[in-house]
Chain A
Amino acid sequence: MANPSGGPEIEQLIQLLSRLPGLGPRSGRRAVLHLIKKKEQLMIPLAAALDRAVEAVKVCGTCGNVDTVSPCTICADPRRAESGLLIVVEDVADLWALERAGIGPVRYHVLGGVLSPLDGVGPDDISIDALIARAPEYREIVIGVNATVEGQTTAHYITDRLAGSGVKITRLAHGVPVGGELDYLDEGTLSQALKARTSF
């Protein structure tokens, strides 16, 4: 069959871009055509940036964040150590979301997933042992995993493992989201929101 997208180099580029989140074969082809048209302004700088990133990107040996140095800039910041607060998150995207929210000088621990029997993810497959080792350095550990059944099972498992460490363990509140309408919420969430009510 004739190759409709040019030579093998272009076809390979389309295939690779098609695997990126949000892109499929059609949008991958469009992106490649755009890159070819804007070779000087986009394609060459992108290739150079990718090359530099491949060389520079490291996974932080302390928290699991992605940065160009290890320990990452968050772990290396001495002001963050003073708060004594460690937030445990599922993956790097959650860490970045909390940083975007500007929650203050805290440190993080990225688990790299949650316990999931269906996916065959057990306690040894996520970064729990490293968290146990870090725990004594902190005053409080906030379990910031998702409010899903698997996320909360992981949270309880971590709490078990941290029992006896002497560190205060807390979790993010569950309840009515900003912009949420009460009549669209399920009974369990409403019940939890009522239990966790605060003074007004």
Chain B
Amino acid sequence: MEWSAEGLIIGVRKHGETSLILETMVPGRGRCFGLVRGGRSRKQAAALQPGNSALLTWRARLEDHLGLFTAEVTTMRAAVLIADRTRLYLSQMLADHLRLLPERDPHDTLLEAVLMLLDEHFDDAELGVELARFELYLLEELGFGLDLETCAVTGVHENLTHVSPKSGRAVCAEEAEPYKDRLLRLPRFLTADVPPEPGDVAAAFVLTGHFLDRHVWTARQIEPPATRDWLTMKLTGGL
């Protein structure tokens, strides 16, 4: 078995004294692992860092095997990420999010979104918007997409302002009014191409965080990414 493609390195694990196990996200193939012999050498270790992209060649006798990677780095982002705390935390959080996906299951749109988030130089407000949209799309790709198009009570498509924390379905303003304190706020920028209003990005992170916790982190008994709290505070002006 053999394939070659350019992929994003999302994790690196030491293996023995000289080798590394590389966790990558590859277009058309999804999250793929492979052993890099000699990956801990001075020359290779600096290049094989999370956040960098590499031209990968994977070889194995059977498809189920871990396989061997040879990697030639094509885009070096790690040093730039290390220099900027927000982007460093962002890269770690995105890698943690991609790690929620099953192995060898392609999610090319998510990968494109991650590369866009890593490469574009957004300011904090723009990054908050893009990251909240990414988490919403991640939920959908994981099979827990929210229904934000139609009111769960009346069936209308306009003036949707809240989301039920149980069903993940939108609720219109009139129906939401008596239960506002028990519902999650639905910022308009998540459903329409409009700029966020004050407090919207924070509300969006509360919304996506609630459903990621409910469907993924708690269900799988894993901790939320350690970087998410700081990053969401920073991007919503809380720091």
Contacts and interface: CB of A to CB of B under 8 A. Distances in A.
Interface string A160-195: 100000000000001000000000001111011001
B85 interface: yes
Q: In this complex, which of A117, A150, A152, A160 has the most chain B Cβ atoms within 10 angstroms of its Cβ?
A: A117
Nearest to A148: B49
B6 interface: no
B79 A186 contact: yes
Contact of B17 (A22, A115, A148): A22
Interface string A80-111: 00000000000000000000000000000000
Contact of A117 (B45, B77, B89, B99): B99
A112 interface: no
Contact of B82 (A21, A122, A123, A149): A149
Nearest to A115: B226
Contacts of B12: 118, 150
Given A153-B92, A192-B79, A192-B83, A123 B226 contact: yes
A186 B88 contact: no
Contacts of A192: 79, 82-83
Interface in B8-53: 11-13, 17, 23, 45-47, 49-51
A36 interface: no
Contact of A118 (B13, B46, B47, B82): B13
Contacts of A148: 45, 49, 78
16 contacts: A117-B92, A117-B95, A117-B99, A118-B13, A118-B99, A148-B49, A149-B81, A149-B88, A150-B50, A156-B85, A156-B89, A186-B76, A188-B82, A191-B80, A192-B79, A192-B82
Given A148-B78, A174-B83, A186-B76, 20 more contacts: A21-B17, A117-B225, A118-B13, A118-B23, A118-B99, A119-B13, A122-B223, A149-B49, A152-B82, A152-B88, A153-B89, A156-B88, A160-B230, A186-B47, A187-B79, A188-B83, A189-B79, A191-B80, A192-B82, A192-B83
